[in-house]
């Protein structure tokens, strides 16, 4: 692993632009279960069909009951950033990472201090009004649901929705377009803790690999390993701090 990390660190040091993409494997070390793994949320107790935009619009009260249960399953206790989140934030603060794109909705990258952050699937810590577009902290809304306000509504009277991309919704066009641009312009692209099977995020490493160095760090094989110049089958909470230690 040392030789591959040395090569990656040298490439980052010489790069004009380094971009990272993160998936659920970065958050599982913080105690957040993944969605699609063997013991993932969708294979255990929840049906993805209950979290479609069509269900939210037709049965917002029932949706919010299920959404509250999902949130409590995803965040079974106090969670916070782990060593991988912190390493990526440190890379940015040192000028070694220009942008961080994440498939995760837990908000832990922002909590760790990442600034140039593109949340492809939104952020579960926020809610958005379907009418006026106002965004607010999700915690008070979840408490209102617990107390019986179903569905919760905005001050303007509009339905309040989790500020995440539900099944049946498209990813935010502006965020996806900027993520593609960053991937195209990157000299080094790090794909970390992601199976790289969910589109359109899975297209980003392919875009980056056309003209830049692609590095994949994931415990399980991914469809992009064949085009990656560096593949690390290691724990992200160990690899990323070790990478930081090699950077100036």
pLDDT band for 44, please (50, 70, 90 cuts). low
What does the pLDDT read at residue 40? Answer: 67
Residue pLDDT, tens place only, 197-206:
989 999 999 9
Strands (E), the chain: 18-22, 99-102, 117-119, 122-129, 135-137, 160-164, 188-192, 213-217, 230-232
Residue pLDDT, tens place only, 154-196:
999 999 999 999 999 999 999 999 999 999 999 999 999 999 9
Stretch 122-145: mean pLDDT: 96
Note if the bond before 68 is cis, omega within 30 degrees: no
Count, residues in the chain: 248
Structure tokens at 104: 């995760």
Q: Which of 85, 109, 121, 224 is catalytic?
A: 121
Is CATH 3.10.20.90 what the domain over 1-32+81-121+170-248 is classified as, yes or no?
no
Mean pLDDT of the chain: 94
What does the pLDDT read at residue 15? Answer: 97
Closest CA to 64 of 148, 167, 134: 148
Closest CA to 186 of 99, 90, 93, 85: 99
**Scanning the structure block, which residue is given the tokens 């994440």?**
102
User: CATH 3.30.1600.10 spans which residues of the chain?
Assistant: 33-74+123-164
pLDDT band for 39, please (50, 70, 90 cuts). low
What does the pLDDT read at residue 131? Answer: 97
CA 194 to chain centroid, in Å, comes to 9
Right CATH for 33-74+123-164 from 2.40.110.10, 1.10.357.10, 1.10.10.60, 3.30.1600.10? 3.30.1600.10
Annotated binding site for Zn(2+): 129, 132, 154, 156
Instruction: Yes or no: say if 170 and 1 are a contact pair by the CB < 8 Å rule.
Output: no
What does the pLDDT read at residue 38? Answer: 60
Tell me which DSSP letter residue 50 carries.
G
Stretch 146-155: mean pLDDT: 96
Query: From CA 186, how far away is CA 165, in angstroms rounded?
Result: 26
User: CATH 3.40.50.1220 spans which residues of the chain?
Assistant: 1-32+81-121+170-248
Annotated binding site: 129, 132, 154, 156
Query: From CA 161, how far away is CA 57, in angstroms rounded?
Result: 10
pTM of structure:
0.93
Known catalytic residue: 109?
Answer: no
């Amino acid at each position: 692993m040392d030789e591959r990390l040395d090569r990656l660190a040298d490439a980052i040091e010489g790069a004009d632009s380094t971009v990272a993409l993160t998936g659920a494997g970065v958050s599982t070390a913080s105690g957040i279960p993944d969605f699609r793994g063997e013991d993932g949320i969708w294979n255990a107790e929840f049906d993805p069909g209950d979290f479609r935009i069509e269900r939210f619009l037709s049965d917002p009260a029932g949706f919010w009951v299920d959404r509250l249960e999902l949130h409590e399953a995803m965040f079974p206790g106090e969670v916070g950033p782990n060593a991988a989140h912190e390493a990526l934030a440190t890379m940015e603060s040192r000028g070694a990472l220009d942008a961080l794109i994440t498939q995760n909705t837990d908000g832990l990258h922002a909590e760790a201090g990442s600034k140039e952050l593109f949340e492809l699937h939104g952020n579960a810590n926020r809610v958005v009004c379907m009418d006026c577009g106002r965004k607010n902290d999700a915690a008070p809304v979840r408490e209102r649901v617990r107390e019986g306000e179903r569905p919760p509504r905005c001050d303007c009277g509009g339905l309040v929705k989790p500020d995440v991309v539900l099944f049946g919704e498209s990813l935010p066009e502006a965020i996806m377009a900027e993520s593609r641009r960053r991937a195209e312009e990157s000299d080094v692209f790090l794909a970390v803790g992601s199976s790289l099977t969910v589109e359109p995020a899975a297209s980003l490493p392919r875009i980056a690999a056309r003209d830049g160095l692609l590095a994949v760090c994931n415990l399980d094989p991914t469809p992009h390993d064949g085009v990656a110049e560096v593949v690390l089958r290691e724990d992200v909470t160990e690899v990323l701090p070790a990478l930081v230690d090699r950077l100036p």
